[in-house]
Amino acid sequence: MVNFIIRRILHTVPVLFGVVVITFILMYMIPGDPVVSMVGERYDEATIHKLRKELHLDDSLPRQFVRYVGNVVRGDFGKSFITGGSVSEELLRKFPNTMMLAVASMIIAIITGLTMGIISSLKPQSILDKITMLFALVGISAPVFWVGLMLVLFVGVYLQWLPPTGFGGIEHIILPAIALGLRSAAYLARLTRATMLEVLNQDYIRTARMKMLPEWKVILKHGFPNILIPIITVIGTDFGSYLSGAVLIESIFGWPGIGRYALEAILKRDFPVIQGTVLFMALMFILANLIVDIFYGIVDPRMRIEGKNG
Amino acid sequence: MVNSRTRRSTVFSKLIRDKSSILGIIIIAIIVLAGIFAPVIAPMNPYTQVLEFRNQKPGFTGDIILFRLKPNLPVQTIAVTSIINTGEMVQYQDQLGRVFEIEKTRLEGVKEKDWHKKHRYWLGTDNFGRDVLSRLLYGARISLSVGLCASTLSLLIGIILGAVSGYYGGVLETFIMRFTDIMFGFPTLLFLIGITAAFEPTLTVVFFAIGCVSWPGMARLMRGQVAGMKEREFIKVCEVLGFSRSRILLKHILPNCFAPMIVTYTLGIAGAIMAEASLSFLGLGAQPPTPSWGIMINAGKDFIHTAPWVSIIPGIAIASTVIGFNLMGDGLRDVLDPSMKK
Amino acid sequence: MKKHVLFIKHTLIFISIIIVGCSNINDESRLTIAISADIRGFDPAMASDIRTGEVISLVYDHLVRFGNGTELLPSIAKDWSVSEDGCTYVFLLDPSARFHDETYISAQDVIFSIKRVLDPSGQSPQTWLFERIVGAKKFLEGQTKEIGGLEAINDYTLRIEINKPFAPFLQYLAMPSAAIVNPSKSDKIRNFPAGSGPWKLDYWEKDGELVFLRNDDYWGNRPKMTGLKIRILTEVLTRSAEFEVGNLDIFNIPAIEMLQWRQKKEWKDKIFSIDDLNIWYIAMNCSRPPFDDIRVRKAMNLSLDREKILKLLLADTGILASGPVPPLLLKGSPPDPYPYDPLRAIELLKNAGYDNGFQTKLWAAGGSEIFHVLEAFQSYWGAIGIEIEIMRSDWNVFKTAVRAGRPDLYYLDWFADYPDGENFLFPLFHSSESMTKRNRYRNPEVDDLIERIQLLPNSSQRDSLIERTNRVIFNEAPWVFLWHGQTNVVTQLKITGYVPKLIFNSERYADIIRE
């Protein structure tokens, strides 16, 4: 068991390294001189030259890369070109915001998605089923940024039930969480329904029913646990992608998370921030997947054997 | 081995029987036709701006005249409040109260009803007084073409990498699969944003970027399929018979993986359309004044108080298109390979 | 470690907000405003952008400051004199002026502040403010440790000598980067101000908010409110909504929202307008075709219906420009702006040999709101056969490209550093600036006029030279002159005492009060 976990963890290291390399290479393909944005309208060659030296921008690429990796391992993600502030500090400050949004979205997604899916699976082909599945279809097809915008418009501007955008207490988190969680909810609904239908046809369910167990016990005790594996996978992967920052939603709602931080950095060519955030996000995403994998290993011993090729 | 022709016809007939797949096909057909025939059906040029008519509700009618400043220049559309016909010239007053004169020879047509119209904007206008309906129709072209090109590109990359790694195995497989893992671990949207921001944000870069980012799913799928196929008896027979590996791969293995391929492809088109819309929304895809649906939503968001239809309508269009492809993809999956249900 | 603490802190805040409810801490005597992005820091030497400059002026003082309009008022310097030749300034400092730590401000402190900006190892982008001081250049190059032109005659008397007479020099001293810094508190200056101003920094939550407390012992005009909170809200929609709900006291209305706001009856009396000292323009690269031909440049000006765009798209928040200098800074009246005459534009193009039009690229930087005007330009120029492709990029890329002279066209604005016509002429059209940093415009006549303006003291001769130069540039059309902007601000009904200011860093929120 421990072996399995260690193997999985080791498996992620080259992936992370690969991410760092690719990001680094991409950075240097981007045109635009970041030093220019650090100074104002009036500056001269001497200032630029000095700054470039300080930031080691004139060193060879491999050397810059080695220096970067060395720093990263020590937890130093460098300093933003624009604000001069520490990237790792900013990430740690903004990450809780993303985490809050991710948790809220996931709660909404799980509650709505699972409920819809289970209810649908109990009465397949009924009107309720058709409506729920239609809703789910729209949920996975509507562009997430448009859904966000529609929520801002209808709930925030027209009905004025909640503040349209901005960061703050619970009233500010509801709309972005719904917008973000909707897609996962829809996906989960479809998945739950499909898996539940499969499971409900199994022999052990029929046995439980023949034993005259109450229906809710049949579903919850015997049916539900067996659909956990695919559902947890989806929850895990989706949560991972939320943790790596929901760029579009954070932008629209002005949510100060790492997704928006990364987007603005890319648009401003703030190299250290871009590298830091992408690395951080990949880390989060990989971590989430790792946890899902380990969970698999605990729940389904068969997976452990295949661990090597995962 | 299954005869592919009979297989295709039973697939088709099964597909038609499923109601939701039909709906999906119909939706896609409507949008494709809208895109192809946009130049013919669109009531107005999607680029024509009439500032006086900005942000008007669907159904709005405006009084306009049409003329050209020079024969080879595009048609001008001007909102007018009054017209005076004076022999050689036509005097018109614009909504700002200014009076202009123009020679009759420059007018777009001889009879007054040709150059002086009350135009009805069925879906309203955007911030520049452009016809939303016309832009919607032209937008279909962009979404569909980028969606198709990008998913085709990722299909190709995915198939090649997946099949090669699944069949040849060994170091090649490990290397490719590791690379796939890295791509999976990358936050996709961010990667797309980075690429399009790094190079010039044009539709070509967008389709390329989306193609280069969406292949991991297809690659993993193909590898699994090919690796499974590799163990089948008839393949082993081919190997024993001395067929070249590449021939086995191309002519015997791949055709049998057709089913999951096409399902993933169809669903991939939906994803590519979404990705293009997202990038255009962020300003990193098609550039104004191109009427991409994503751009329309973005432009409309600053006027969401006064002209919400500008953002609402293209979103419905995107959702419908994606629904169409999803329905078709689901239908195909149900028919071709029920075991693929995740 | 830090990560856990921060997370716990945020979770606790989250929970407490749920418990307490959606109530806001509505401190009656605190003013809350918003800005659209965070500042760069509290170091005046690095204050090269407007936002940072505005905040700097809240916590620091200067030798002189601007009033509501263009008038210069005493601040730390309670009086001053200029020599006959215009090169020597003597300032008498206010003996009651004190830093936040109660120490008195002396002439040596002023010298310290100026030397800070000129320090070669500090890499300040604002050295241009003080380069005219005798000995400054040598100091900047690291050759000397002292600046000859700066002398503390005694603790309260300061002499500054510049190498050539320059009328706007006094105004330079009111600019954000000329703030007087407390030498003993300047080590952590980026994150915490070393100032003397009417406000003291309480805390700065990056990308969140800046909270200030009134300096109760302020030696100057003490603010009436006791607190000031500046929230950093990037989305216009958020700022607008927060204002309407009552969480912001003052809201800067963007042009695209003006129409809606004018229709809101309840705010009618609380909308304040002021014409900005700025100019919006599209610069044309004058060093190569097609814009090296003056006919083409005039055609570009004649084929844009600016009146319509200003009225309809920008809700009339501006004045059409006919030259770079805003009318407020011209003593006489400016020329009539270029009319909308597309047929004449086509003729000019034909004469210049562009009968079939041409294609070119227009560079711009900023948020997506810039397209709300640029697409209209595209349409007008397309109507006469000039195809414009909009190259939107971020400020970095944009600035580098403009400096390198790459764009054929670029869209930009220029805000006055100080209220003097010369500020709209030298940095923009003198060949030493334009050929190296801007649109490659060179006209020896204009160079000569500008140089003469710079040497003259404030006089009617100087004023008429400014007007004349403005006219020459208007006729040469190195730019498409768009408009001079307007700032519109709305305040809550209970807020009184708000007067919009002309110069961006003269607002100190001192006279505002909530009833």
Tally of residues, chain B: 342
Instruction: Give residue-wise pLDDT tens across range C355-404.
Output: 889 999 999 987 667 778 899 999 999 999 999 998 887 777 788 889 88
Residue C271 has pLDDT above 80, yes or no: yes
Supply B13's token pair: 């007939």
Percent of chain C with pLDDT over 90: 71
CB contact under 8 A, C313 and B51: yes
Instruction: Give residue-wise pLDDT tens across range B169-187.
Output: 888 888 898 888 888 877 7
Q: Nearest C-alpha of chain C: how many angstroms from A47?
A: 6
State the virtual CA torsion across B137, B141, B144, B148 in degrees, nearest 10. Answer: 170
Chains that touch B (3 or more CB pairs under 8 A): A, C
Residue of C nearest to A52 (CA): C123
Helix (H) or strand (E) holding B22: helix B19-36
Instruction: Give residue-wise pLDDT tens across range C109-147.
Output: 999 999 999 998 888 888 989 999 999 999 998 889 999
Q: Nearest C-alpha of chain C: how many angstroms from B115?
A: 17
Supply C260's token pair: 């809606």
**Residues forming beta bridges with residue C358, ordered by sequence position:** C386
Instruction: Give the domains, in start order, of chain B with CATH numbers.
Output: 4-36+132-340 (1.10.3720.10), 51-121 (2.30.30)
Identify which has the larger pLDDT, C309 or A68: C309
Supply C58's token pair: 């809240």
Q: Nearest C-alpha of chain A: how many angstroms from B40?
A: 28
CB contact under 8 A, B306 and C390: no
> Which residues of chain A does B175 touch, with a Cβ-Cβ cutoff of 8 Å?
none
Partner C contacted by A154 (CB < 8 A): no
Split at pLDDT 50, 70, 90, the class of B342 is: very low
- At B249 the pLDDT is 76
**Residues forming beta bridges with residue B82, ordered by sequence position:** B93
> Which residues of chain B does C36 touch, with a Cβ-Cβ cutoff of 8 Å?
none
Split at pLDDT 50, 70, 90, the class of C162 is: very high
Instruction: Give residue-wise pLDDT tens across range B19-33.
Output: 888 899 999 999 999
Q: Among C259, C342, C375, whose Cβ lies nearest the Cβ of B289?
A: C375
Residue C219 has pLDDT above 70, yes or no: yes
| Residue showing tokens 């050397």 | A63
Mutate: best of B44, B48, B49, B101, partner C, most C CBs <10 A: B49
Q: Are C154 and C122 in contact (CB under 8 A)?
A: no
Q: Nearest C-alpha of chain A: how many angstroms from C201?
A: 19
Q: Residue C13: CB partners within 8 Å, gap ≥ 6?
A: none
Q: Among B52, B197, B302, whose Cβ lies nearest the Cβ of C372?
A: B302
Average pLDDT estimate for C282-291 = 95
One DSSP character per residue, C210-278 reads EEEEE-TT-SS---SSSEEEEEE---HHHHHHHHHHTS-SEEEE-GGGHHHHHH-GGGGGGEEEEE-SE
Supply A48's token pair: 């630029």
Question: Distance between CA atoms of B303 and B320, rounded to whole angstroms?
Answer: 23
In order along chain A (310 residues), what is the average pLDDT of each group of 10 residues? 80 82 74 58 64 72 80 81 81 91 94 90 86 91 92 84 80 91 92 85 78 76 75 86 84 87 82 84 84 76 49
Supply A177's token pair: 């969480």
For residue A56, the tally of other CB atoms under 10 A from its CB is 11
Kindly provide the residue ranges of all beta strands, DSSP E only, lying in chain A, ordered along the sequence.
Answer: none
> Which residues of chain C does A79 touch, with a Cβ-Cβ cutoff of 8 Å?
none
Average pLDDT estimate for B105-127 = 89
**Residues forming beta bridges with residue B91, ordered by sequence position:** B84, B101
Q: Nearest C-alpha of chain C: how many angstroms from B74?
A: 6
Question: Distance between CA atoms of C290 and C300, rounded to whole angstroms?
Answer: 11
Residue of A nearest to C122 (CA): A47
Q: Residue A280: CB partners within 8 Å, gap ≥ 6?
A: A77, A91, A95, A244, A258
C-alpha count within 13 angstroms, C-beta hemisphere, residue B242: 0
Q: What is the mean pLDDT of chain C?
A: 90
Instruction: Give residue-wise pLDDT tens across range A186-218.
Output: 999 998 888 888 887 777 777 877 887 777 777
Q: Are C477 and C460 in contact (CB under 8 A)?
A: no
One DSSP character per residue, C298-367 reads HHHHHT--HHHIIIIISTT-EEE-SSSS-GGG-SS-PPPPPP--HHHHHHHHHHTT-TT-EEEEEEEESS
For residue A155, the tally of other CB atoms under 10 A from its CB is 17
Single pTM value for the model: 0.85
Nearest to C441 by CA among C488, C476, C398: C476
> Which residues of chain C does A90 touch, with a Cβ-Cβ cutoff of 8 Å?
206
**Crossing angle of helices A87-122/A271-299, nearest 10°?**
40
| Residue showing tokens 């500054």 | C160
Chains that touch C (3 or more CB pairs under 8 A): A, B
In the DSSP assignment, the letter for residue B92 is E
Residue B11 has pLDDT above 90, yes or no: no
CB contact under 8 A, A263 and B193: yes
Question: Distance between CA atoms of B94 and B62, rounded to whole angstroms?
Answer: 12
> Which residues of chain A does C2 touch, with a Cβ-Cβ cutoff of 8 Å?
92
Q: Nearest C-alpha of chain A: how many angstroms from C213?
A: 22
Q: Strands C278-284, C479-491: parallel, antiparallel or unpaired by DSSP?
A: antiparallel
> Which residues of chain C does A99 touch, with a Cβ-Cβ cutoff of 8 Å?
7
Helix (H) or strand (E) holding B80: strand B76-86
**CB < 8 Å from B in window 185-224 of A:** 191, 194
Q: Nearest C-alpha of chain A: how many angstroms from B186?
A: 6
Q: How far is CA B210 from CA A64, A265, B192, in A?
A: 29, 21, 7
C-alpha count within 13 angstroms, C-beta hemisphere, residue B307: 30
- At B1 the pLDDT is 47
**CB < 8 Å from C in window 104-163 of B:** 127-128
Counted across chains A and B, CB pairs separated by less than 8 A come out at 125
Residue B341 has pLDDT above 50, yes or no: no
Mutate: best of B304, B309, B310, B318, partner A, most A CBs <10 A: B304
- At B155 the pLDDT is 92
One DSSP character per residue, C390-424 reads EEEE-HHHHHHHHHHT--SEEEEEEE-SSS-GGGG
Phi first, then psi, for residue A56 (nearest 5°) are 60, 30
Instruction: Give residue-wise pLDDT tens across range C11-65.
Output: 665 665 554 433 344 467 899 999 988 888 899 998 888 889 999 999 999 999 9
Question: Distance between CA atoms of C143 and C140, rounded to whole angstroms?
Answer: 8
Supply A187's token pair: 């996906």
Residue C321 has pLDDT above 80, yes or no: yes
Kindly provide the residue ranges of all beta strands, DSSP E only, lying in A194-298, ordered along the sequence.
Answer: none
Average pLDDT estimate for B269-276 = 93
Supply A272's token pair: 């250290």
